Amino acid sequence: MNLKLLLSIGLSSILLFGCNEMGKPAAKTALVTEKDNYSYALGASFGQQARALLIQRDSIDLDYAVFMQAFTERFEQDSAKLLMTDSALFAVLNDFSMKRQQEKVQKDSLAAEKNLQEQKAFLEKNKTEGGVITTASGLQYLVIIEGKGDLPKETDIVSVHYTGTLLDGTEFDSSIKRGAPAEFPLNAVIPGWTELLKVMKVGSKVKAWIPSDLAYGPRGRQVIPGNSLLVFEMELLGVKASEQAAAPAAAPAKPATVKKPAAAKPAPAPAAAPAAAQ
């Protein structure tokens, strides 16, 4: 039995067996029969997932009594009680979906603009800190350990340990926590990483601040909001020629190449994206 069917059965159990009056839960204080157990288990499963999807993630404000009334009427196919035709139902849901999408676009746009202003202010101040190097592109880094090995070429495969956070300290990726270094072609990652690693000798460890125009731009990626300044602690463990490389592991993916200004870059290709924090 698939999950969708289980959830549907779980909700119908709540509605048909768990309520004496519309919107009012039955006074069930103990689970006695097998039917009690599976009815409760299915209902609990549905409730947890519905809350996560509809309330916590999307902040949808539901009138639970109306919601359950509509479900029951449709489940029982009681057409005499229906308050909305099929065509009206689909029109309402479509309109609701469009409004939610517009709200999300507007919210993301405002957040991206806020992130852009915050990163500009931070980088302006950070470049005056002792030991911080600022390149022509705007990349900033601080050398923690100066390595003594080779400098990688753009066509090489590099092995790197790193931890990535947002400006507020939120961690979004860590090869250290995954227990294995990332291995990838140097020219296949975000521009900020390519530029940084080309000046790191094997054995080097740095802290870097990568502006959004050298990372994921105004659209962001997965758990990385638009116009996010990325902060990395990174150690270059090894370098080898590309013909010796195995399949690359997870690393910040290089944005897709497009003929547009840098500020309008789309989200990068998903082939080698940072592992999202769980």
Residue 134 CB neighbour total at 10 angstroms = 14
Kindly report, residue by residue over 213-257, the tens digit of the pLDDT.
999 999 888 889 999 999 999 999 999 987 644 444 456 666 544
| Distance from C-alpha of 151 to C-alpha of 63, rounded to nearest angstrom | 62
Cβ proximity of 160 and 175 under 8 Å: yes
Q: Where are the domains of the chain?
A: 3-81, 107-272
Q: Classify domain 107-272 at the CATH class level.
A: alpha beta
Instruction: Give tens-digit pLDDT for 106-139.
Output: 888 898 999 999 999 999 999 999 999 999 999 9
Q: What is the DSSP letter of 261?
A: -
Catalytic positions are 162, 172-173, 190, 216, 232
Strand runs labelled E in the chain = 19-21, 24-25, 132-134, 140-145, 157-166, 171-174, 182-185, 205-210, 230-240
Q: Which residues in the chain land under pLDDT 50?
A: 1-10, 12-23, 244-249, 256-278
Task: At 158, list the tokens.
Answer: 């590099």
